[in-house]
A and B are shown apart, each in its own frame.
Chain A
Amino acid sequence: MENLLQVKNLSVAFRTDGESTTVVSGASFSIKQSEVAAIVGESGSGKSVTAMSLLRLLASPPAQVLADEMTFFSDGASVDLFACPDQKLRAIRGNRISMVFQEPMTSLNPTLAVGRQITEVLQLHKGMGRRESENAACGLLAEVGMTEPRRQLGAFPHQLSGGMRQRVMIAIALACRPDLLIADEPTTALDVTIQAQIMELLNELRKKNKMAVLLITHNMGLVAEMADTVAVMYAGQIVESASSKELFTNTLHPYTKGLLESVPNLSEKRKNLVSIPGTIPSPRAWPSGCRFHPRCGMCQDECREKAQELWEASPGHFVRCGVQKEKRGGDIG
């Protein structure tokens, strides 16, 4: 299938008080048309920042984004999201690429009726008139499962529950039938029962609209359920990326293994929950060598000194771990 988005060597740094802190370093990934790509990682791993930087939503200053390439393919043409002028980017935002954010409570404007927040996108990108856009918005609200769409057009965000607000956010994001939806932890702030509903809705709408999804999450279960490809981020770097099936059956990076082991499992009887020891380091002081080495069970002398490079363990499966490379190298060679 065709590439929809190709990102090469994306780095993000934040400059505060004359001091520059690199939060994402050298991330490369691509998303194909109508597939679900997931970026997984703990809080602070840089996954949200990566998502924001795709639509240049990080305030600059303090953010400084660098990339060799951030090419978006739409309607037979390609646009470099990193280098294109603002005007061109605005025509893509909300139209060809849209976003659903983590906090439905604060992501909607409290002083505008939700209907207006949907119609403004339709009027802007589709050139619809008032009446036409209102009807379309009503249809969108019905599509995302709102029970009384006509009446709810006039509702204000504070009159809706968290789950309903996230449905409205999805309706806004879907309004122009985008090619790519970036979902930045869309269910983290919701109740568990609502989480499943929202993910089901997203999945259903994705299939119906043949839309690609970039799913940012820390929930491995969700990834296993939905994603076609996975990139695992740790301390601002992609440490392992592969197709979802390959990653789950043939996990190579010790961090990914740790993440998978820490998912609670009902079928196994374990006394305690398993967790990866330690916490993610601060961006101000990434560890030398392999950034995961202080928490790694497989750590060796070399890991402490030498920065690790991504290498291709099998076609399409990339890992940033030298120990695994040696092991594998021994196997093959």
Chain B
Amino acid sequence: MRYIIKRLLTMIPMLLGISLISYCLMNLAPGDAATMYLNPEELKNPVSIEAVREKLQLDKPVMVRYVAWLKEVLRGNWGYSYLSRQPVIKEIGARITPTIQLSITALLLEMLLGVGLGVYCAKHQYKISDHALSLFAFVGMSMPSFWFGILLILFFTLQLGWLPSMGLVTVGLKGSWHVILLDRLRHMIMPAIALSFAGIGSWMRYQRASFLDVMEQDYIRTARSKGLKESVITWRHTFRNSCIPVVTMLGGSLPGLVSGSFVIENMFGIPGLGRYGTMAVLNRDYPVIMAVTLFSSILVMAGMLLSDLLYVLVDPRIQY
């Protein structure tokens, strides 16, 4: 418990650092937020541009603006989107669920398929199936997700017509809860696969290596000398020990998932945090960029904390 509190407290300076760096980087980027704020009609009038600059305090130095922004955020005011003129926090709230949904689905796919196939490969080391799956893993790791996503859409939507390529739900669909759930799942399949494909490959390779390493350990020989069946040796003795180094990967794969969702959400038209953030960047929507950055950071940090806590469950030697 004390450990968790300590970890939560260390998140505060980290978030401050992240916000400062992203605020500066954002202002270094070329483009003028004031011109994006106005419609083309108003843009013709230089006076109104100046007025907007003053209103948004864009005429002040970066540091002054950062401190002002931070003060407001600490008071719980995340500001208004330049684009929609809506409160940022409200818009984030509506968009965070699809992103979490997509990330968790992709993470589960990575873990289950990666770990499962990794164990399978280790048990069939140097057989044809092992070589084939390794090839599959390397293809997955080296193929960009946006390109793989396009291939999926080409094949499953345009060729076969099996899966929808856009959005979260079919618009106007009515029915009982399981029809809705099935519809949501059908929308989630392709984005989740595109997002997790690279991850499955690397989880698989890690799990394979770790499992093979554990198979060589003395205590596996002990287990064999006890007369245990091969299946018991695999699952009770080898599997759990082989998961210890792989759990560290959990924390490491989260940033990839969150940043990957920026690309994937745009491609599959999912109204999540990633798509919202991308639009904000293109429109120099400063309050939104900051909010999306911080919320993604919090997601990643929470996930890392969770994976560190998971360690305790897997390895009895670790205690916090």
Interface residues of chain A, those whose CB is within 8 Å of chain B, are 55, 57, 89-95, 98-99, 101, 103, 106-113, 120-121, 124-125, 156, 158, 169, 172
- B219 near A93 with CB under 8 A, answer no
Tell me, in angstroms, the Cα distance from A94 to B221 when the chains sit together.
12
Chain A residues, CB < 8 A from B225? 55, 57, 93-94, 98-99, 101
Chain A residues, CB < 8 A from B241? 109-111
Given contacts A90-B229, A101-B221, A101-B225, 17 further A-B contacts (CB under 8 A): A55-B225, A90-B227, A91-B227, A93-B224, A93-B226, A94-B226, A94-B227, A94-B228, A99-B225, A103-B218, A106-B219, A109-B223, A110-B317, A124-B226, A156-B316, A156-B317, A172-B226
Interface of B is mostly: helix
B142 within 8 A of A: no
Given contacts A101-B221, A158-B317, contact A111 B240 (CB under 8 A): yes
- B228 near A106 with CB under 8 A, answer no
- A109 near B219 with CB under 8 A, answer yes
- B226 near A110 with CB under 8 A, answer no
Chain B residues, CB < 8 A from A57? 221, 224-225
Chain A residues, CB < 8 A from B226? 93-94, 98, 120-121, 124, 172
Chain A residues, CB < 8 A from B219? 106-110
- A124 near B228 with CB under 8 A, answer yes
Chain A residues, CB < 8 A from B223? 109
Interface CB pairs A-B, < 8 A, 14: A95-B227, A99-B225, A103-B218, A107-B219, A109-B223, A109-B241, A110-B315, A111-B240, A111-B241, A112-B236, A120-B228, A121-B226, A156-B317, A158-B317
B48 within 8 A of A: no
- A112 near B237 with CB under 8 A, answer yes
B222 within 8 A of A: yes
B314 within 8 A of A: yes
Closest to B215 in A: A59
Tell me, in angstroms, the Cα distance from A101 to B222 when the chains sit together.
8
Tell me, in angstroms, the Cα distance from A90 to B227 when the chains sit together.
4
- B227 near A92 with CB under 8 A, answer yes
Tell me, in angstroms, the Cα distance from A109 to B228 when the chains sit together.
14
Tell me, in angstroms, the Cα distance from A158 to B222 when the chains sit together.
17
Tell me, in angstroms, the Cα distance from A113 to B221 when the chains sit together.
17
- A111 near B222 with CB under 8 A, answer no
State the Cβ distance, B43 to closest chain A Cβ, in Å.
Answer: 66
Contact of B227 among A108, A124, A156, A158 (CB under 8 A): A124
Chain B residues, CB < 8 A from A120? 226, 228, 232, 236
Chain B residues, CB < 8 A from A158? 316-317
B217 within 8 A of A: yes
Chain B residues, CB < 8 A from A106? 217-219
